[in-house]
Structure 1
Amino acid sequence: MRCFVVILLLVACARLSAAAAGVSCALADEFLSRHNVTADDNDVPGPICGGQCCGRGREIQVKSTLRRSAEGSMTVSTKRTAELLLSTKRSLQDHLTGLSHQSQNKTATLFTQLYRGHATRTVQPLAALYDDIRIVLRSNEADISTENLGAGPPKDLAASAKKFFREIFPVAYHNVLKLDSKQFSPEYEVCLKYAYDAVQPFGDVPQQLGTSLSRSLEAARALLQMLAVGADALAAAERVVAGGAEDCADRLLRAAGCARCHGHDARPCRHYCLNVARGCIGSLVSELDGPWAGYVEGVERLTKVDADVALRELETKVSKAIMYALENRAISENKVRQECGPPSTLDSPALTSPHPTSGSIRRENLRAPPPDTELLQFAATLASTKKLFATLADRLCNEPDFAADNNEKCWNGIAIGDYTKPLVTSASQSDQKYNPEISGSPPQDPRVAALADKLQQARQLLVSYSRSKELTAESFMQGDEAGEEGSGSGRSYPDDYDSEGSGDDGSGDHDGQSKPYFNESPPDSSTPKVFNSSGSRVTSAVLSVAALAAALRALT
């Protein structure tokens, strides 16, 4: 009871002293009310400010409020950038996944119109190829761990493309021989698949297609992964900043709260705020400045997504492969006879329509333009964040509660006056030994070093893919035909990339107009007819089924 009386006397004396000194707590009450500080001040003066207008309860609440406010102010830019990265990743992934379904449907339509009922046998190989494509485009949390950053894609798309063409070879060869009322025996189909490498019925188109898919989609996968890596790094940095704000809470209170607790209507001097913010919070993450700038540069270099072109042109290249097989059927027949002998056939059961492919989409969605404009805008916005961590702490001093506009007649930590202490140059760890508001070296969080390493790995991966694209473009400019699908030399889209089908005016139906070579040797030819030779190269126009049908008629 006696102690309680003493405490009341101390508080009363403090209030009387404040009144005697002409100090009004009205300004403090307005500040405290604005920050929802409602603690009962019937307590001893606070241990940090010791002012007449804040007891211990109020001081604790002010410190907590200022800490949260500082944390929110310094992480608003990281949150905004992380959301930009994740929203771009979602949009790009959805775009490419939808485009893969569109491409699958268009290729299935090509097979349906060309092979009719026998097209059912292409459904499974086609689905397997596009499933592998979508697996490559898919990413999850495990993909952004430090251990998995350098790991290869889950599927080898070059191998997937080769497997696809190997599986459809019996159907294509059946079409070349006009065996509408027959089908190959199971043993003969197995032999055809084994003979695929020796026959090379589609020329080098499967290899070109596989190389293009592999290079383009793996680069897209890397970009998608690295966007998630960047967002994850920013979230981790936010946690470090939150921990720093907790440790820095006393300094933040002394800078932004004590003037009010002493009854003054004054904000902290600007250089005072900068020294506190750079020293006890900014220094914790300033070492991410260089790695983050490098990461942003790496993302900028890979924002041209060639996977968009590769998916749009996939059906064109399948058409190209089929046309090659038709143009060079005599050579293929000779090679097949050498490997498997004459065709072994059975009566064909009633033909059925192919099952619809999965993932069909509405017509208006087929007209989605390439995402180049959105990605360029994204890259420009991201580029503006290169100095994100170098200037992170300074953002706090743009908040009215934390800094005045100058260093005169402001709160300098002790009284209203001028702030004459030197301003530390930056938030870097090395500069903090010159910081007058920091005693000793700031603690180094081991998480920051791990984040820096992760960002540097991400940059290296992004640069490696962008360099691969540049080398491919250079090879193309030098006339390397194998690099024809490379990027860097300008986009080339099929003229009807936004149309629904692959052609509706041809069916590939010949109704046995020509007899296949069963009992006589086919015409010999010593040189394959190269479909993409200089005299008949087709690089971007979509080959319609009508063109394939016309080729069939011309060759029979």
Structure 2
Amino acid sequence: MRLIAIKYFNRLTALIILYYIILYYIILYYIILYFGEFFTDVGLFVLGSQLSLEEASQRFFDTLFPLVYERLVEPDLSRLSLPYSECVRASCRDLGPYGGAPGRLAALISRASLPGRVFLQALHLGVEVINTTDHIQLSRECRRGLLRMSYCPHCQGLTASKPCMGYCLNVVRGCLASLAEVDAHWREFVRSLEMLSTRMHGAQDLEQVLLEVHGLVRDAVAHAQRNAPRLSAQVRRVCGRPVRQQPEQVSSGQHSSAGRDSIPLKAAVRNTDDTLSNRRKEFLSSLRLHRAFYGGLADQLCVSDLASGDGTACWNGAGVTSYTLRVVGNGIKAQAENPEVKVKEADPVISQVIDKLKHINQLLQGKSIPKLGTLDQIETGSGEGYSGDCDDEDGCWGSGNGAAERRRIETICK
């Protein structure tokens, strides 16, 4: 008799456990559906939206409450009518069925989102810096220097002669003097991105936090279930006696939509190598290779393409011989002694880029609090911010006839 009772008890226990497993899987199904909207809000926040994470979190739990009430608080009821479900949802904030879970979820997401938000702002600005510097306008002195270096030998029939290395460096360093000023700030930008990336782990890794959110939601639902008698009485006091949904509403309403949007309850196998953290590391490894781009651009152009490797038989601006003038360094200050290109002042557009880099570097290093709208769009492609000392005499607007253009070239090459 005792063995029969034990077997019966074990079987009953197994059935109860199975019942609750099935019940929680049903709830999990709807939770996943509701999570879609919440994750969309989180994504918008990371991208810079001014929405409130507290409101998004509370809205998620509000939407979940009718399901929790129907399945766990009042499990003996059939599906609630839509008006009654809406009343249950609207009462959620006043009843507080989840304890402090909505606030904790918002705090977790907010803390984890801030580094990613700054990281994305920084990447956006990095793209703007590259686009802006790619469309920089060359000054009049620079254009004259490039013309003399590249085309004046052709006027003398020296088509095979390339500029001397020192000559090329002076001309190109003069032309790119403003860009060279970006170098230190660009290096700091890359270094600051790497520093921020190293801090994006644990509670500051949004991907990891989102993967663990289900635990917080599970505990919140369990908290509501433990307080089922209190919640049942409070809901009935606010919304009245539960109103059941009509059979035809069930068949044509939520059940049919759930069938159309069905998703597997079994968790997808996650590729541990394909994570945001690994992709971020790969990106930074690639970016690190270009951290000296602006400082070495002039030298790279001359060494790889423009200048002659032979220092004895090359074009020096006047003839094919060696170049004996002093070779200046990079940057605006170094151009004071440049014999080939005179540089008056820094390009205002590049100065604006540098200011923005300084600002984002402070954000990346945690030295200032990020505010929405602090990073303005940089104008790209138009070149309207800088005239480049351009006037009609130089023909930089494409005006003038061919004879005038030839006279101008002859004057420069003399």
TM-score interval, normalised by the smaller of the two chains: 0.5 to 0.7
Please point out which of 215, 222, 229 is paired with 1:323. Answer: 222
Q: Superposed, which structure 2 residues align to 1:436-455 within 5 Å?
A: 436-439=339-342, 441-442=343-344, 444-455=346-357
Contact preservation (8 Å) 2:190, 2:288: yes
Aligned mate of 2:166, from 268, 271, 274: 271
Is 1:220 aligned with 2:122? no
Counterpart of 2:295 in structure 1 is: 390
Query: Residue 282 of structure 1: which of 168, 172, 176 is its match?
Result: 176
Residues 382 and 126 of structure 1: is their aligned pair in 2 closer, same or farther, counting only changes over 3 Å? Answer: closer
Question: What does residue 341 of structure 1 align with?
Answer: 237
The amino acid of 1:459's aligned partner reads: N
Aligned to 1:256: 150
What amino acid is the match of 1:324?
H
Cα drift, residue 197 of structure 1: 4.3
Residue type of the partner of 1:458? I
Give the Cα separation in 2 of the matches to 1:358 and 1:183: 19
Measured after TM superposition, the shift of residue 420 of structure 1 is 2.1
Matched, 1:421 2:325: yes
Q: Pick which of 333-342 and 244-253 moved more.
A: 333-342
Deviations 1:213-263 (A, max 9, x none): 2333454344334323211221111110xx218763332232234345434
Q: How does 1:76-91 map to 2 (within 5 A)?
A: none
1:459 aligns with 2:361: yes
Residue type at the aligned position of 1:267: K
Q: Is the 8 A contact 1:156 1:214 kept in 2?
A: no
Determine the structure 2 residue equivalent to 1:36: none
Residue of structure 1 equivalent to 2:376: none
From 239, 253, 278, the equivalent of 2:135 is: 239
| Equivalent residue for 2:195, pick from 294, 298, 301 | 301
Structure 1 counterpart of 2:210:
311
Distance in 2, matches of 1:295 and 1:437, equals 32
Matched residue count: 336
Deviation string, structure 1 residues 268-306 (Cα, Å, up to 9, x no partner): 221111111111x21132222233223223322344472
Q: Deviations over 1:441-468 (max 9, x none)?
A: 3454321122222223333333349999
For the residue of structure 1 that corresponds to 2:328, the secondary structure is coil
Give, as a single letter, the amino acid of the residue that structure 2 aligns with 1:415: G
Distance 2:276 2:368 in 1: 18
| Distance in 2 of aligned mates of 1:414 and 1:183 | 93
Mark the CA change 1:339 to 1:359 in structure 2 (over 3 Å): closer, same or farther: closer
Q: 1:120 to 1:367 in 2, by over 3 A?
A: closer
CA distance in 2, matches of 1:204, 1:424: 65
Query: How much does 1:433 deviate?
Result: 0.8
1:471-482 equivalences under 5 Å are none
**1:433 is matched with which residue?**
336
SS in 1 for 2:309: coil
State the TM-score, normalizing by the size of structure 1. Answer: 0.52
Two-structure CA RMSD over aligned residues (Å)? 3.9
Aligned to 1:107: none
Q: Which amino acid aligns with 2:340?
A: E
Distance 1:308 1:466 in 2: 24
Instruction: String of CA shifts for 1:31-56, please: whole Å, max 9, x gaps.
Output: xxxxxxxxxxxxxxxxxxxxxxxxxx
Matched residue type, 2:322: D
SS at 2:290's partner residue? coil
Does the 8 Å contact 2:65/2:89 carry over to 1? yes
Pair 435,173 (structure 1): closer, same or farther in 2 beyond 3 Å = same
Q: What amino acid is aligned across from residue 274 of structure 1 in structure 2?
A: L
Q: Provide the C-alpha distance between the structure 1 equivalents of 2:279 and 2:348, rounded to a whole number of angstroms.
A: 36
Do the aligned residues in 2 keep the contact of 1:192 with 1:336 (CA within 8 Å)?
no
Task: Compare relative contact order (CA 8 Å, sep 6+) and give the higher one, 1 or 2.
Answer: 2
Alignment of 1:504-523 (within 5 A): none
Q: Quote how far apart the aligned CAs of 1:419 are.
A: 2.1
SS of equivalent residue, structure 2 residue 293: coil
Q: Which amino acid aligns with 1:130?
A: F
Q: Is the 8 A contact 1:213 1:307 kept in 2?
A: yes
Change (3 A) 1:437 1:112: farther
Is contact 1:244-1:284 (8 Å) kept?
Answer: no
How far apart are the structure 1 equivalents of 2:34 and 2:194?
A: 36
Query: C-alpha separation between the residues in 1 aligned to 2:259 and 2:367?
Result: 38
Match among 111, 123, 128 for residue 37 of structure 2:
128
How far apart are 1:358 and its partner, in Å? 9.0
User: Kindly, what percent of the aligned residue pairs are identical?
Assistant: 25
Distance 1:363 1:199, change over 3 A: closer
Question: Retained in 2: the 8 A contact 1:267–1:402?
Answer: yes
Measured in 1, the distance between the counterparts of 2:55 and 2:262 equals 22
Shift of 1:186: 7.2
* Bigger Cα displacement from structure 2, 388-397 vs 453-462: 453-462
- Counterpart of 1:175 in structure 2 is 71
Gaps of 5+ in 1: 1-110, 140-151, 469-556
- For the structure 1 residues 375 and 117, does the alpha-carbon distance in structure 2 shift closer, same or farther, using more than 3 Å as the test? closer
Question: What is the rounded CA distance, in whole Å, between the counterparts of 2:353 and 2:22 in structure 1?
Answer: 54
1:207 maps to 103
- Give me the whole-angstrom Cα distance separating, in 1, the residues matched to 2:244 and 2:367: 51
1:379 to partner: Cα distance = 0.9
Partner SS for 2:243: strand
